[in-house]
Amino acid sequence: MNRHLQATGLTHYLLAKFLSKGQKAIDATAGNGQDTLFLAQTVGSSGLVYAFDIQERALLTTQKLLKKNNCLQQVKLILAGHEKINNFVQEPVQAIIYNLGYLPGSNKEIITQGETTLLSLQQGMKLLNSGGIIAVTVYPGHPGGRKEADLIDKYVISLSVQTWQVMKWNRVNGNTAKSPYVLFIYKN
């Protein structure tokens, strides 16, 4: 697929319109660090990114990538589940990225779980500035992924339009059931 049409490309493109230098952001699933790097470059050295992952290996890869790109100073790497956001972030943030599922090239059994993802999302939504945005890339195609996708969909559908605008980007041809999709959750 053309990279601009992939979930990551689209997420970065859109979030760049909402996030600027000096602001704060969260990467709730650091993984190999691509999203953390994007956030760190967007907020610059005067901003701050909180990056969570439960795997030390993921944070080490992320750290290396940030160092190579001279962005390490504006990132706090946190070895903890994103369901503990409240323990680590006590200030408003402008953007949050979730890239669910498993770490590519690693143990596919270590995946994000619907219940903890929801707990985290609810905490993140409270921290989000008005005018801020959350991007959640959801992968229904792997074992356990559909269950998580259903939980998240059910939750975001219930959100009040007074406060939230929730948009969904998804494939409409080909294997739609297994294709990743992105939810954008914007706070009015």
- Please state the closest distance from residue 169 (CB atom) to ligand SAM, in A: 17
180 binds ligand SAM (CB under 6 A): no
Query: Rounded to an integer, what distance in angstroms lies between the CA atom of residue 166 and that of residue 90?
Result: 24
Q: Which helix (H) or strand (E) holds 98?
A: strand 93-99
Pick from 11, 23, 32, 74: which binds ligand SAM (CB under 6 A)?
Answer: 32
Query: Rounded to an integer, what distance in angstroms lies between the CA atom of residue 185 and that of residue 188?
Result: 10
145 binds ligand SAM (CB under 6 A): no
Instruction: Find the DSSP H helices in the chain.
Output: 7-15, 34-43, 56-68, 85-88, 114-127, 145-157
N-term to C-term CA, the chain: 33
- Please state the closest distance from residue 130 (CB atom) to ligand SAM, in A: 25
81 binds ligand SAM (CB under 6 A): yes
Q: Is 59 in contact with 53 (CB distance < 8 Å)?
A: yes
**DSSP assignment letter at 102:** B
Q: Which helix (H) or strand (E) holds 167?
A: strand 164-169
Between residues 88 and 165, which has the closer beta carbon with respect to ligand SAM? 88
Task: Considering only the stretches 15-23, 110-118, 158-166, 171-179, report the one whose residues sit in contact with ligand SAM under the rule CB under 6 A.
Answer: 110-118
33 binds ligand SAM (CB under 6 A): yes
31 binds ligand SAM (CB under 6 A): yes
121 binds ligand SAM (CB under 6 A): no
Three-state DSSP class for 30?
Answer: coil
148 binds ligand SAM (CB under 6 A): no
94 binds ligand SAM (CB under 6 A): no
One-letter amino acid of 175: N
Pick from 6, 116, 129, 179: which binds ligand SAM (CB under 6 A)?
Answer: 116
Pick from 18, 49, 50, 52: which binds ligand SAM (CB under 6 A)?
Answer: 52
Q: Which helix (H) or strand (E) holds 97?
A: strand 93-99
Q: What residues form DSSP beta bridges with 116?
A: none
54 binds ligand SAM (CB under 6 A): yes
Q: What residues form DSSP beta bridges with 169?
A: 182
Q: Interface residues with ligand SAM (CB under 6 A)?
A: 29, 31-35, 52-55, 58, 81-83, 99, 101, 103, 110, 112, 116
